[in-house]
Structure 1
Amino acid sequence: MPAIHHNGALEAALKATSSAVERILTPILHKPSGLEARVVEAMHYAVFSGGKRLRPFLVLASSELFDVDRKRALRVAAAIECVHCYSLVHDDLPAMDDDDLRRGKPTVHIKYDEATAILAGDALLTLAFEILSAPETHDDPNVRLELVSALAKASGYQGMVGGQMIDLMAADYELDQAAVCRLQQMKTGALISFSVEAGAIMGHASTSARASLQGYARDLGLAFQVADDLLDAEGSIEATGKAVGKDAAAGKATLVSIMGLERAKQQANMLTDQAIDHLSGFDDRASLLRAVAHFAINRHT
Protein backbone atom coordinates (compact mmCIF):
# COMPACT_ATOMS: atom_id res chain seq x y z
CA MET A 1 0.00 0.00 0.00
CA PRO A 2 1.26 3.52 -0.69
CA ALA A 3 1.84 6.05 2.07
CA ILE A 4 -1.34 7.96 2.87
CA HIS A 5 -1.11 11.65 3.64
CA HIS A 6 -4.68 12.99 3.50
CA ASN A 7 -8.25 11.85 4.07
CA GLY A 8 -9.21 11.62 0.40
CA ALA A 9 -6.45 9.13 -0.31
CA LEU A 10 -7.18 7.27 2.90
CA GLU A 11 -10.84 6.93 2.03
CA ALA A 12 -9.83 5.59 -1.38
CA ALA A 13 -7.59 3.05 0.35
CA LEU A 14 -10.45 2.08 2.68
CA LYS A 15 -12.69 1.50 -0.35
CA ALA A 16 -9.99 -0.63 -1.98
CA THR A 17 -9.74 -2.69 1.21
CA SER A 18 -13.52 -3.09 1.26
CA SER A 19 -13.54 -4.37 -2.33
CA ALA A 20 -10.69 -6.79 -1.63
CA VAL A 21 -12.40 -8.21 1.48
CA GLU A 22 -15.67 -8.57 -0.42
CA ARG A 23 -13.85 -10.55 -3.12
CA ILE A 24 -12.72 -12.95 -0.39
CA LEU A 25 -16.19 -13.28 1.16
CA THR A 26 -18.27 -13.48 -2.03
CA PRO A 27 -17.45 -17.14 -2.84
CA ILE A 28 -17.54 -18.08 0.85
CA LEU A 29 -21.07 -16.69 1.22
CA HIS A 30 -22.34 -18.36 -1.95
CA LYS A 31 -26.03 -19.11 -1.37
CA PRO A 32 -26.81 -22.85 -1.19
CA SER A 33 -29.85 -24.40 -2.84
CA GLY A 34 -31.45 -25.83 0.32
CA LEU A 35 -33.83 -24.19 2.78
CA GLU A 36 -30.83 -22.94 4.79
CA ALA A 37 -30.29 -20.44 1.94
CA ARG A 38 -32.34 -17.86 3.87
CA VAL A 39 -29.76 -17.54 6.65
CA VAL A 40 -26.92 -17.25 4.13
CA GLU A 41 -28.87 -14.55 2.31
CA ALA A 42 -29.22 -12.67 5.62
CA MET A 43 -25.49 -13.10 6.32
CA HIS A 44 -24.71 -11.71 2.88
CA TYR A 45 -27.04 -8.75 3.49
CA ALA A 46 -25.32 -7.98 6.81
CA VAL A 47 -21.80 -8.11 5.36
CA PHE A 48 -22.46 -6.40 2.02
CA SER A 49 -24.52 -3.44 3.30
CA GLY A 50 -21.59 -1.03 3.30
CA GLY A 51 -19.47 0.16 6.20
CA LYS A 52 -15.98 1.59 6.57
CA ARG A 53 -14.18 -1.80 6.87
CA LEU A 54 -11.88 -0.10 9.37
CA ARG A 55 -10.96 -3.31 11.17
CA PRO A 56 -9.96 -5.16 7.97
CA PHE A 57 -7.97 -2.07 6.98
CA LEU A 58 -6.08 -2.22 10.28
CA VAL A 59 -5.27 -5.89 9.67
CA LEU A 60 -3.77 -5.06 6.27
CA ALA A 61 -1.90 -2.00 7.55
CA SER A 62 -0.34 -3.88 10.46
CA SER A 63 0.49 -6.84 8.20
CA GLU A 64 2.40 -4.54 5.88
CA LEU A 65 4.74 -3.62 8.74
CA PHE A 66 5.95 -7.22 8.89
CA ASP A 67 5.85 -8.16 5.18
CA VAL A 68 2.94 -10.55 5.66
CA ASP A 69 1.57 -12.07 2.45
CA ARG A 70 -1.40 -9.95 1.37
CA LYS A 71 -3.64 -12.92 0.53
CA ARG A 72 -3.19 -14.28 4.03
CA ALA A 73 -3.81 -10.88 5.58
CA LEU A 74 -7.00 -10.51 3.56
CA ARG A 75 -8.37 -13.77 4.93
CA VAL A 76 -7.80 -12.55 8.48
CA ALA A 77 -9.35 -9.21 7.50
CA ALA A 78 -12.42 -11.06 6.19
CA ALA A 79 -12.68 -13.04 9.44
CA ILE A 80 -12.65 -9.93 11.62
CA GLU A 81 -15.28 -8.31 9.41
CA CYS A 82 -17.52 -11.34 9.91
CA VAL A 83 -17.23 -10.91 13.69
CA HIS A 84 -17.85 -7.17 13.47
CA CYS A 85 -20.94 -7.65 11.28
CA TYR A 86 -22.28 -10.37 13.58
CA SER A 87 -21.96 -7.95 16.51
CA LEU A 88 -23.92 -5.27 14.63
CA VAL A 89 -26.70 -7.71 13.69
CA HIS A 90 -27.12 -8.74 17.33
CA ASP A 91 -26.70 -5.19 18.70
CA ASP A 92 -29.58 -4.01 16.52
CA LEU A 93 -32.03 -6.62 17.86
CA PRO A 94 -35.03 -5.45 19.94
CA ALA A 95 -33.58 -7.18 23.01
CA MET A 96 -30.40 -5.12 22.68
CA ASP A 97 -30.27 -1.62 21.14
CA ASP A 98 -33.53 -2.04 19.17
CA ASP A 99 -32.46 -0.24 16.00
CA ASP A 100 -34.36 -0.27 12.71
CA LEU A 101 -31.64 1.36 10.61
CA ARG A 102 -27.99 0.47 10.01
CA ARG A 103 -25.77 2.10 7.37
CA GLY A 104 -28.85 3.80 6.00
CA LYS A 105 -30.65 0.49 5.37
CA PRO A 106 -33.14 -1.64 7.31
CA THR A 107 -31.42 -3.73 9.96
CA VAL A 108 -31.28 -7.50 9.43
CA HIS A 109 -34.15 -8.29 11.79
CA ILE A 110 -36.34 -5.72 9.99
CA LYS A 111 -35.32 -6.94 6.53
CA TYR A 112 -35.89 -10.60 7.51
CA ASP A 113 -37.06 -11.43 11.05
CA GLU A 114 -35.59 -11.68 14.54
CA ALA A 115 -34.94 -15.42 14.48
CA THR A 116 -33.16 -15.22 11.13
CA ALA A 117 -31.09 -12.28 12.39
CA ILE A 118 -29.98 -14.24 15.46
CA LEU A 119 -28.99 -17.22 13.32
CA ALA A 120 -27.22 -15.01 10.77
CA GLY A 121 -25.16 -13.42 13.55
CA ASP A 122 -24.32 -16.83 15.03
CA ALA A 123 -23.27 -18.12 11.63
CA LEU A 124 -21.05 -15.10 10.89
CA LEU A 125 -19.26 -15.56 14.22
CA THR A 126 -18.54 -19.22 13.60
CA LEU A 127 -17.57 -18.55 9.98
CA ALA A 128 -14.79 -16.24 11.22
CA PHE A 129 -13.11 -19.11 13.04
CA GLU A 130 -13.58 -21.43 10.07
CA ILE A 131 -11.69 -18.90 7.94
CA LEU A 132 -8.91 -18.40 10.49
CA SER A 133 -8.34 -22.11 11.04
CA ALA A 134 -8.01 -22.96 7.33
CA PRO A 135 -4.49 -23.73 6.02
CA GLU A 136 -4.86 -21.01 3.35
CA THR A 137 -4.79 -18.40 6.12
CA HIS A 138 -1.28 -19.35 7.26
CA ASP A 139 0.98 -22.34 6.74
CA ASP A 140 2.08 -22.34 10.40
CA PRO A 141 -0.61 -24.05 12.51
CA ASN A 142 0.70 -22.29 15.64
CA VAL A 143 0.00 -18.93 14.01
CA ARG A 144 -3.52 -20.04 13.08
CA LEU A 145 -4.09 -21.23 16.64
CA GLU A 146 -2.88 -17.92 18.08
CA LEU A 147 -5.17 -16.01 15.72
CA VAL A 148 -8.15 -18.14 16.73
CA SER A 149 -7.34 -17.77 20.43
CA ALA A 150 -6.81 -14.00 20.24
CA LEU A 151 -10.02 -13.39 18.30
CA ALA A 152 -12.02 -15.62 20.64
CA LYS A 153 -10.80 -13.63 23.64
CA ALA A 154 -11.39 -10.27 21.93
CA SER A 155 -14.95 -11.15 20.89
CA GLY A 156 -16.06 -13.03 24.03
CA TYR A 157 -16.90 -12.15 27.63
CA GLN A 158 -13.42 -10.74 28.25
CA GLY A 159 -13.85 -8.39 25.30
CA MET A 160 -16.72 -7.32 23.07
CA VAL A 161 -19.53 -9.41 24.61
CA GLY A 162 -18.50 -8.43 28.14
CA GLY A 163 -18.44 -4.78 27.11
CA GLN A 164 -21.89 -5.06 25.56
CA MET A 165 -23.19 -6.60 28.80
CA ILE A 166 -21.82 -3.66 30.79
CA ASP A 167 -23.31 -1.28 28.23
CA LEU A 168 -26.76 -2.84 28.60
CA MET A 169 -26.52 -2.43 32.39
CA ALA A 170 -25.01 1.06 32.25
CA ALA A 171 -28.33 2.93 32.49
CA ASP A 172 -28.93 1.35 35.93
CA TYR A 173 -25.54 2.30 37.38
CA GLU A 174 -23.59 5.52 37.79
CA LEU A 175 -20.41 4.75 35.88
CA ASP A 176 -17.44 7.02 36.41
CA GLN A 177 -14.90 7.89 33.73
CA ALA A 178 -12.66 4.90 34.51
CA ALA A 179 -15.61 2.49 34.29
CA VAL A 180 -16.77 3.98 30.98
CA CYS A 181 -13.23 3.69 29.57
CA ARG A 182 -13.12 0.03 30.61
CA LEU A 183 -16.52 -0.56 28.99
CA GLN A 184 -15.34 1.00 25.73
CA GLN A 185 -12.00 -0.83 25.76
CA MET A 186 -13.94 -4.09 25.96
CA LYS A 187 -16.88 -3.34 23.68
CA THR A 188 -15.05 -1.50 20.89
CA GLY A 189 -11.35 -1.59 21.68
CA ALA A 190 -10.88 -5.36 21.90
CA LEU A 191 -11.69 -6.04 18.23
CA ILE A 192 -9.65 -3.04 17.13
CA SER A 193 -6.72 -4.36 19.17
CA PHE A 194 -6.99 -7.77 17.55
CA SER A 195 -7.09 -6.16 14.11
CA VAL A 196 -3.87 -4.25 14.80
CA GLU A 197 -2.10 -7.19 16.44
CA ALA A 198 -3.09 -9.70 13.76
CA GLY A 199 -0.31 -8.52 11.45
CA ALA A 200 2.21 -8.90 14.27
CA ILE A 201 0.98 -12.44 14.98
CA MET A 202 1.26 -13.47 11.33
CA GLY A 203 4.62 -11.74 10.96
CA HIS A 204 6.23 -13.26 14.08
CA ALA A 205 6.89 -9.72 15.38
CA SER A 206 9.16 -8.98 18.33
CA THR A 207 7.77 -8.44 21.83
CA SER A 208 8.62 -4.73 21.70
CA ALA A 209 6.92 -4.26 18.32
CA ARG A 210 3.80 -5.97 19.59
CA ALA A 211 3.80 -3.81 22.74
CA SER A 212 3.95 -0.67 20.59
CA LEU A 213 1.02 -1.85 18.49
CA GLN A 214 -0.96 -2.76 21.61
CA GLY A 215 -0.49 0.79 22.93
CA TYR A 216 -1.52 2.23 19.58
CA ALA A 217 -4.62 0.04 19.42
CA ARG A 218 -5.67 0.85 22.98
CA ASP A 219 -5.60 4.61 22.39
CA LEU A 220 -7.10 4.31 18.90
CA GLY A 221 -10.00 2.23 20.23
CA LEU A 222 -10.84 4.82 22.88
CA ALA A 223 -10.52 7.71 20.41
CA PHE A 224 -12.79 5.86 17.99
CA GLN A 225 -15.43 5.37 20.67
CA VAL A 226 -15.28 8.99 21.83
CA ALA A 227 -15.85 9.97 18.19
CA ASP A 228 -18.83 7.59 18.08
CA ASP A 229 -20.28 9.18 21.22
CA LEU A 230 -19.79 12.64 19.70
CA LEU A 231 -21.62 11.53 16.56
CA ASP A 232 -24.48 10.21 18.70
CA ALA A 233 -24.62 13.55 20.52
CA GLU A 234 -24.12 15.91 17.57
CA GLY A 235 -24.70 13.92 14.37
CA SER A 236 -27.79 13.46 12.24
CA ILE A 237 -29.53 10.34 11.02
CA GLU A 238 -28.89 11.48 7.44
CA ALA A 239 -25.13 11.70 7.99
CA THR A 240 -24.61 8.64 10.19
CA GLY A 241 -27.14 6.28 8.59
CA LYS A 242 -28.45 5.23 12.01
CA ALA A 243 -30.45 6.63 14.91
CA VAL A 244 -28.73 9.31 17.02
CA GLY A 245 -29.28 10.69 20.51
CA LYS A 246 -29.98 7.24 21.93
CA ASP A 247 -27.33 7.36 24.67
CA ALA A 248 -28.77 10.51 26.22
CA ALA A 249 -32.34 9.21 25.88
CA ALA A 250 -31.37 5.99 27.65
CA GLY A 251 -29.52 7.87 30.39
CA LYS A 252 -26.26 6.07 29.60
CA ALA A 253 -23.01 7.51 30.86
CA THR A 254 -20.51 8.16 28.07
CA LEU A 255 -17.27 10.09 28.00
CA VAL A 256 -19.23 12.88 26.31
CA SER A 257 -21.86 13.01 29.07
CA ILE A 258 -19.18 12.89 31.78
CA MET A 259 -16.70 15.33 30.24
CA GLY A 260 -18.90 17.55 28.10
CA LEU A 261 -18.57 18.09 24.35
CA GLU A 262 -15.48 20.28 24.30
CA ARG A 263 -13.43 18.24 26.76
CA ALA A 264 -14.46 15.04 24.96
CA LYS A 265 -13.20 16.49 21.69
CA GLN A 266 -9.92 17.43 23.39
CA GLN A 267 -9.69 13.90 24.82
CA ALA A 268 -10.19 12.38 21.37
CA ASN A 269 -7.39 14.51 19.95
CA MET A 270 -5.09 13.66 22.85
CA LEU A 271 -5.75 9.94 22.43
CA THR A 272 -5.04 10.23 18.70
CA ASP A 273 -1.70 11.90 19.41
CA GLN A 274 -0.84 9.21 21.96
CA ALA A 275 -1.75 6.46 19.50
CA ILE A 276 0.55 7.96 16.87
CA ASP A 277 3.37 8.33 19.41
CA HIS A 278 3.32 4.56 19.94
CA LEU A 279 4.34 4.16 16.29
CA SER A 280 7.57 6.17 16.64
CA GLY A 281 9.67 3.01 16.33
CA PHE A 282 8.25 2.20 12.88
CA ASP A 283 9.23 3.73 9.54
CA ASP A 284 7.05 5.20 6.79
CA ARG A 285 5.21 1.91 6.41
CA ALA A 286 3.27 2.91 9.53
CA SER A 287 1.90 5.98 7.72
CA LEU A 288 -1.34 4.07 7.12
CA LEU A 289 -1.79 3.51 10.83
CA ARG A 290 -0.96 7.13 11.59
CA ALA A 291 -3.46 8.37 9.02
CA VAL A 292 -6.25 6.11 10.19
CA ALA A 293 -5.87 7.49 13.74
CA HIS A 294 -6.72 10.96 12.43
CA PHE A 295 -9.52 9.55 10.28
CA ALA A 296 -11.11 7.82 13.29
CA ILE A 297 -11.89 11.12 15.04
CA ASN A 298 -12.68 13.21 11.95
CA ARG A 299 -15.23 10.92 10.33
CA HIS A 300 -18.91 11.79 9.98
CA THR A 301 -20.39 8.26 9.98
Structure 2
Amino acid sequence: MQLKEFSQEILPTFDNYLETIFSQKSGMNQLGASMWYSLSNGGKRIRPLLLLATLKAFMVNESKGFQAAAALEAIHTYSLIHDDLPAMDDDDYRRGKLTNHKQFDEATAILAGDALLTEAFHLISEPNSEVTPAIQVQLVNLLSATAGRHGMVGGQMGDMLGENHGLSLSELQTVHSLKTGELIRFALVGAGVIGEVSEAIKEKLAQFAYHYGLAYQIQNDLQEVLWTDEQRGKKQSGDQAHHKNTYPELLTTEGAKRTLTEEIANCNQILDEIKQLNSKFDSELMSGFLEYLEI
Protein backbone atom coordinates (compact mmCIF):
# COMPACT_ATOMS: atom_id res chain seq x y z
CA MET A 1 0.00 0.00 0.00
CA GLN A 2 1.23 3.52 -0.77
CA LEU A 3 1.62 5.93 2.15
CA LYS A 4 -0.31 8.68 0.36
CA GLU A 5 -3.30 6.38 -0.07
CA PHE A 6 -3.10 5.24 3.56
CA SER A 7 -2.81 8.78 4.94
CA GLN A 8 -5.77 9.98 2.88
CA GLU A 9 -7.76 7.08 4.24
CA ILE A 10 -6.79 7.22 7.91
CA LEU A 11 -6.04 10.87 8.77
CA PRO A 12 -9.61 12.24 8.37
CA THR A 13 -10.83 9.51 10.74
CA PHE A 14 -8.01 10.23 13.18
CA ASP A 15 -8.63 13.99 13.03
CA ASN A 16 -12.31 13.39 13.81
CA TYR A 17 -11.22 11.25 16.75
CA LEU A 18 -8.99 14.05 18.04
CA GLU A 19 -11.77 16.59 17.64
CA THR A 20 -14.19 14.40 19.58
CA ILE A 21 -11.71 14.20 22.45
CA PHE A 22 -10.29 17.70 22.58
CA SER A 23 -12.85 20.00 20.97
CA GLN A 24 -16.13 18.61 22.27
CA LYS A 25 -14.91 16.95 25.47
CA SER A 26 -12.94 19.89 26.80
CA GLY A 27 -15.51 22.48 25.85
CA MET A 28 -14.64 25.82 24.33
CA ASN A 29 -13.59 27.64 27.46
CA GLN A 30 -10.29 29.47 27.09
CA LEU A 31 -8.17 26.50 28.12
CA GLY A 32 -9.99 24.10 25.81
CA ALA A 33 -9.89 26.60 22.96
CA SER A 34 -6.16 27.09 23.44
CA MET A 35 -5.50 23.34 23.43
CA TRP A 36 -7.58 22.77 20.31
CA TYR A 37 -6.11 25.82 18.55
CA SER A 38 -2.66 24.24 18.48
CA LEU A 39 -3.84 20.68 17.95
CA SER A 40 -5.81 21.71 14.86
CA ASN A 41 -3.16 24.05 13.47
CA GLY A 42 -2.44 22.19 10.25
CA GLY A 43 0.29 19.78 11.28
CA LYS A 44 1.17 16.81 9.09
CA ARG A 45 0.50 14.35 11.95
CA ILE A 46 3.77 12.59 11.11
CA ARG A 47 4.16 10.96 14.54
CA PRO A 48 0.64 9.49 14.86
CA LEU A 49 0.76 8.56 11.19
CA LEU A 50 4.00 6.66 11.81
CA LEU A 51 2.32 4.73 14.63
CA LEU A 52 -0.82 3.92 12.66
CA ALA A 53 1.09 3.04 9.49
CA THR A 54 3.38 0.71 11.42
CA LEU A 55 0.32 -1.15 12.69
CA LYS A 56 -1.00 -1.33 9.14
CA ALA A 57 2.37 -2.59 7.90
CA PHE A 58 2.11 -5.51 10.34
CA MET A 59 -1.53 -6.11 9.36
CA VAL A 60 -2.87 -4.97 12.74
CA ASN A 61 -6.14 -3.01 12.85
CA GLU A 62 -5.06 0.60 13.13
CA SER A 63 -8.02 1.47 15.38
CA LYS A 64 -6.09 -0.32 18.14
CA GLY A 65 -3.59 2.53 18.03
CA PHE A 66 -5.89 5.55 18.05
CA GLN A 67 -5.57 6.22 21.79
CA ALA A 68 -1.78 5.96 21.69
CA ALA A 69 -1.58 8.06 18.53
CA ALA A 70 -3.76 10.78 20.06
CA ALA A 71 -1.65 10.77 23.23
CA LEU A 72 1.48 11.10 21.11
CA GLU A 73 0.08 14.03 19.14
CA ALA A 74 -0.99 15.72 22.39
CA ILE A 75 2.53 15.50 23.80
CA HIS A 76 4.11 16.68 20.55
CA THR A 77 1.72 19.65 20.46
CA TYR A 78 2.39 20.60 24.07
CA SER A 79 6.11 20.61 23.29
CA LEU A 80 5.55 22.99 20.36
CA ILE A 81 3.44 25.36 22.46
CA HIS A 82 6.17 25.56 25.08
CA ASP A 83 8.98 25.76 22.48
CA ASP A 84 7.39 28.87 20.99
CA LEU A 85 7.25 30.75 24.31
CA PRO A 86 9.48 33.83 24.83
CA ALA A 87 11.64 31.95 27.35
CA MET A 88 12.39 29.29 24.74
CA ASP A 89 12.45 30.02 20.98
CA ASP A 90 10.29 33.18 21.16
CA ASP A 91 8.39 32.52 17.90
CA ASP A 92 5.37 34.54 16.79
CA TYR A 93 4.15 32.21 14.05
CA ARG A 94 3.86 28.47 13.48
CA ARG A 95 2.50 26.94 10.27
CA GLY A 96 1.45 30.38 9.09
CA LYS A 97 -0.67 31.16 12.17
CA LEU A 98 0.00 33.01 15.39
CA THR A 99 1.67 30.86 18.02
CA ASN A 100 -0.45 29.93 21.01
CA HIS A 101 0.87 32.57 23.37
CA LYS A 102 0.32 35.25 20.71
CA GLN A 103 -3.22 34.07 19.94
CA PHE A 104 -4.09 33.84 23.65
CA ASP A 105 -1.47 34.82 26.25
CA GLU A 106 1.60 33.28 27.85
CA ALA A 107 -0.16 31.95 30.94
CA THR A 108 -2.87 30.27 28.88
CA ALA A 109 -0.28 28.76 26.53
CA ILE A 110 1.68 27.30 29.44
CA LEU A 111 -1.46 25.80 30.96
CA ALA A 112 -2.65 24.47 27.59
CA GLY A 113 0.68 22.67 27.20
CA ASP A 114 0.42 21.31 30.74
CA ALA A 115 -3.11 20.10 30.07
CA LEU A 116 -2.17 18.39 26.81
CA LEU A 117 0.71 16.59 28.53
CA THR A 118 -1.44 15.26 31.35
CA GLU A 119 -4.36 14.44 29.07
CA ALA A 120 -2.03 12.25 27.02
CA PHE A 121 -1.56 9.86 29.94
CA HIS A 122 -5.27 9.93 30.73
CA LEU A 123 -5.98 8.97 27.12
CA ILE A 124 -3.47 6.16 26.86
CA SER A 125 -4.62 4.54 30.11
CA GLU A 126 -8.38 4.74 29.55
CA PRO A 127 -10.13 1.35 29.25
CA ASN A 128 -9.89 0.09 25.69
CA SER A 129 -11.59 -3.07 24.51
CA GLU A 130 -9.01 -3.47 21.73
CA VAL A 131 -5.86 -3.24 23.88
CA THR A 132 -5.17 -5.23 27.03
CA PRO A 133 -4.29 -3.50 30.33
CA ALA A 134 -0.85 -5.14 30.19
CA ILE A 135 -0.16 -3.49 26.84
CA GLN A 136 -1.44 -0.16 28.16
CA VAL A 137 1.03 -0.34 31.06
CA GLN A 138 3.86 -0.91 28.57
CA LEU A 139 2.68 2.07 26.51
CA VAL A 140 2.50 4.36 29.55
CA ASN A 141 6.02 3.30 30.53
CA LEU A 142 7.33 3.86 27.00
CA LEU A 143 5.62 7.23 26.55
CA SER A 144 6.84 8.58 29.89
CA ALA A 145 10.38 7.46 29.04
CA THR A 146 10.44 8.90 25.53
CA ALA A 147 8.75 12.20 26.46
CA GLY A 148 10.51 12.97 29.73
CA ARG A 149 13.93 13.87 31.09
CA HIS A 150 15.61 10.89 29.45
CA GLY A 151 13.81 11.59 26.17
CA MET A 152 12.35 14.64 24.44
CA VAL A 153 12.60 17.05 27.39
CA GLY A 154 16.17 15.98 28.08
CA GLY A 155 16.99 16.63 24.43
CA GLN A 156 15.44 20.08 24.60
CA MET A 157 17.53 20.85 27.66
CA GLY A 158 20.65 19.67 25.86
CA ASP A 159 19.74 21.86 22.90
CA MET A 160 19.38 24.87 25.19
CA LEU A 161 22.62 24.18 27.06
CA GLY A 162 24.40 23.84 23.72
CA GLU A 163 23.63 27.45 22.84
CA ASN A 164 26.63 29.76 22.61
CA HIS A 165 29.18 26.94 22.40
CA GLY A 166 29.88 24.46 19.68
CA LEU A 167 28.87 20.82 19.88
CA SER A 168 30.66 17.97 18.15
CA LEU A 169 28.73 15.90 15.62
CA SER A 170 28.24 13.07 18.11
CA GLU A 171 27.00 15.51 20.77
CA LEU A 172 24.58 17.10 18.31
CA GLN A 173 23.30 13.66 17.28
CA THR A 174 22.75 12.75 20.92
CA VAL A 175 20.73 15.92 21.51
CA HIS A 176 18.57 15.35 18.44
CA SER A 177 18.13 11.63 19.01
CA LEU A 178 16.45 12.67 22.27
CA LYS A 179 14.72 15.88 21.23
CA THR A 180 13.30 14.57 17.95
CA GLY A 181 13.96 10.84 17.81
CA GLU A 182 12.45 9.68 21.09
CA LEU A 183 8.82 10.52 20.28
CA ILE A 184 9.38 8.88 16.90
CA ARG A 185 10.64 5.84 18.82
CA PHE A 186 7.38 5.80 20.76
CA ALA A 187 5.43 5.85 17.49
CA LEU A 188 7.28 2.85 16.05
CA VAL A 189 8.02 0.76 19.11
CA GLY A 190 4.62 1.63 20.58
CA ALA A 191 3.02 0.19 17.46
CA GLY A 192 5.19 -2.88 17.95
CA VAL A 193 3.92 -3.20 21.52
CA ILE A 194 0.30 -2.91 20.38
CA GLY A 195 0.90 -5.37 17.55
CA GLU A 196 2.78 -7.75 19.87
CA VAL A 197 5.69 -8.18 17.48
CA SER A 198 8.90 -9.94 18.49
CA GLU A 199 11.60 -8.25 20.56
CA ALA A 200 13.95 -8.49 17.58
CA ILE A 201 11.53 -6.50 15.45
CA LYS A 202 10.99 -3.93 18.23
CA GLU A 203 14.75 -3.41 18.29
CA LYS A 204 14.76 -2.83 14.53
CA LEU A 205 11.87 -0.37 14.89
CA ALA A 206 13.87 1.51 17.52
CA GLN A 207 16.86 1.64 15.16
CA PHE A 208 14.66 2.97 12.37
CA ALA A 209 13.32 5.62 14.75
CA TYR A 210 16.85 6.72 15.67
CA HIS A 211 17.97 7.20 12.07
CA TYR A 212 14.65 8.67 10.97
CA GLY A 213 14.77 11.16 13.85
CA LEU A 214 18.25 12.31 12.84
CA ALA A 215 17.22 12.59 9.20
CA TYR A 216 14.11 14.53 10.19
CA GLN A 217 16.18 17.03 12.18
CA ILE A 218 18.79 17.41 9.43
CA GLN A 219 16.00 18.12 6.97
CA ASN A 220 14.55 20.70 9.35
CA ASP A 221 17.92 22.42 9.67
CA LEU A 222 18.35 22.45 5.89
CA GLN A 223 14.89 23.93 5.43
CA GLU A 224 15.92 26.81 7.67
CA VAL A 225 18.79 27.52 5.28
CA LEU A 226 17.23 26.72 1.90
CA TRP A 227 13.49 27.39 2.20
CA THR A 228 11.63 30.69 2.15
CA ASP A 229 9.42 31.86 5.03
CA GLU A 230 6.39 31.03 2.87
CA GLN A 231 7.58 27.45 2.33
CA ARG A 232 8.20 27.01 6.06
CA GLY A 233 4.90 28.61 7.09
CA LYS A 234 6.77 30.83 9.55
CA LYS A 235 9.70 33.21 9.74
CA GLN A 236 13.17 31.76 9.90
CA SER A 237 13.65 30.30 13.36
CA GLY A 238 15.71 31.92 16.06
CA ASP A 239 18.38 29.21 15.89
CA GLN A 240 21.02 31.68 14.74
CA ALA A 241 19.91 34.35 17.21
CA HIS A 242 20.03 31.75 19.99
CA HIS A 243 23.37 30.45 18.64
CA LYS A 244 21.98 26.93 18.42
CA ASN A 245 23.97 24.16 16.82
CA THR A 246 22.73 22.96 13.43
CA TYR A 247 23.92 20.39 10.91
CA PRO A 248 24.57 22.91 8.08
CA GLU A 249 26.62 25.03 10.48
CA LEU A 250 28.64 22.04 11.62
CA LEU A 251 28.92 20.11 8.34
CA THR A 252 28.22 22.84 5.72
CA THR A 253 25.02 22.73 3.69
CA GLU A 254 26.41 20.17 1.25
CA GLY A 255 27.76 18.05 4.07
CA ALA A 256 24.37 18.09 5.78
CA LYS A 257 22.73 17.01 2.52
CA ARG A 258 25.13 14.08 2.25
CA THR A 259 24.47 13.07 5.84
CA LEU A 260 20.72 13.25 5.20
CA THR A 261 21.17 10.89 2.24
CA GLU A 262 23.16 8.49 4.45
CA GLU A 263 20.48 8.46 7.15
CA ILE A 264 17.76 7.77 4.58
CA ALA A 265 19.85 4.85 3.30
CA ASN A 266 20.14 3.56 6.88
CA CYS A 267 16.36 3.69 7.22
CA ASN A 268 15.86 1.75 3.98
CA GLN A 269 18.34 -0.90 5.11
CA ILE A 270 16.49 -1.38 8.40
CA LEU A 271 13.15 -1.74 6.61
CA ASP A 272 14.71 -4.51 4.52
CA GLU A 273 15.93 -6.20 7.70
CA ILE A 274 12.45 -6.07 9.25
CA LYS A 275 11.07 -7.60 6.07
CA GLN A 276 13.53 -10.47 6.48
CA LEU A 277 12.25 -11.04 10.03
CA ASN A 278 8.58 -10.85 8.99
CA SER A 279 7.84 -11.56 5.34
CA LYS A 280 4.34 -10.05 5.64
CA PHE A 281 5.69 -6.64 6.74
CA ASP A 282 4.67 -3.91 4.27
CA SER A 283 8.02 -2.18 3.84
CA GLU A 284 6.69 -0.23 0.84
CA LEU A 285 4.17 1.55 3.06
CA MET A 286 6.83 2.53 5.57
CA SER A 287 9.34 3.62 2.93
CA GLY A 288 6.85 6.33 1.96
CA PHE A 289 7.86 8.22 5.10
CA LEU A 290 11.31 8.71 3.64
CA GLU A 291 9.78 10.87 0.91
CA TYR A 292 8.94 13.43 3.60
CA LEU A 293 12.67 13.92 4.05
CA GLU A 294 13.38 15.18 0.55
CA ILE A 295 14.85 18.67 0.18
TM-score, reference length from structure 2: 0.93
In structure 2, relative to structure 1, the CA distance for the partners of 1:39 and 1:137 (3 Å cut) is farther
Computed over aligned residues only, the root mean square deviation of the Cα atoms, in angstroms, reads 1.8
Equivalent-residue separation in structure 1 for 2:11 and 2:42 (angstroms): 9
How far is 1:156 from its partner? 0.5
Equivalent-residue separation in structure 2 for 1:137 and 1:80 (angstroms): 20
* Structure 2, unaligned runs of 5 or more: none
Residues 150-192 of structure 1, C-alpha deviations (whole Å, 9 max, x = no match): 0111110101111111111211332111110000000000001
Q: Does residue 1:123 correspond to 2:120, yes or no? A: no
Residues 82-131 of structure 1, C-alpha deviations (whole Å, 9 max, x = no match): 11111100100011100000111000100000000001011111111111
Q: Is the partner of 2:47 in helix, strand or coil?
A: helix
Equivalent-residue separation in structure 1 for 2:243 and 2:131 (angstroms): 49
How far is 1:137 from its partner? 6.7
**Structure 1 residue identity aligned to 2:227:** G
Alignment partner, residue 20 of structure 1? 13
CA contact (8 A) 2:57 2:286 kept: no
TM-score, reference length from structure 1: 0.91
Equivalent-residue separation in structure 2 for 1:266 and 1:179 (angstroms): 19
CA contact (8 A) 2:91 2:237 kept: no
How far is 1:243 from its partner? 2.2
Equivalent-residue separation in structure 2 for 1:44 and 1:240 (angstroms): 22
How far is 1:11 from its partner? 4.5
- The correspondence for 2:77, drawn from 75, 80, 85, is 85
Alignment partner, residue 182 of structure 1? 174
- The correspondence for 1:290, drawn from 272, 275, 287, is 287
Alignment partner, residue 254 of structure 2? 262
Q: Does residue 1:279 correspond to 2:271, yes or no? A: yes
Farther off after superposition, 172-181 or 275-284: 275-284
Aligned length: 290
How far is 1:32 from its partner? 6.7
Alignment partner, residue 7 of structure 1? none
Q: Percent identity?
A: 36
CA contact (8 A) 2:6 2:53 kept: no
Alignment partner, residue 189 of structure 2? 197
* Structure 1, unaligned runs of 5 or more: 5-9
Alignment partner, residue 240 of structure 1? 232
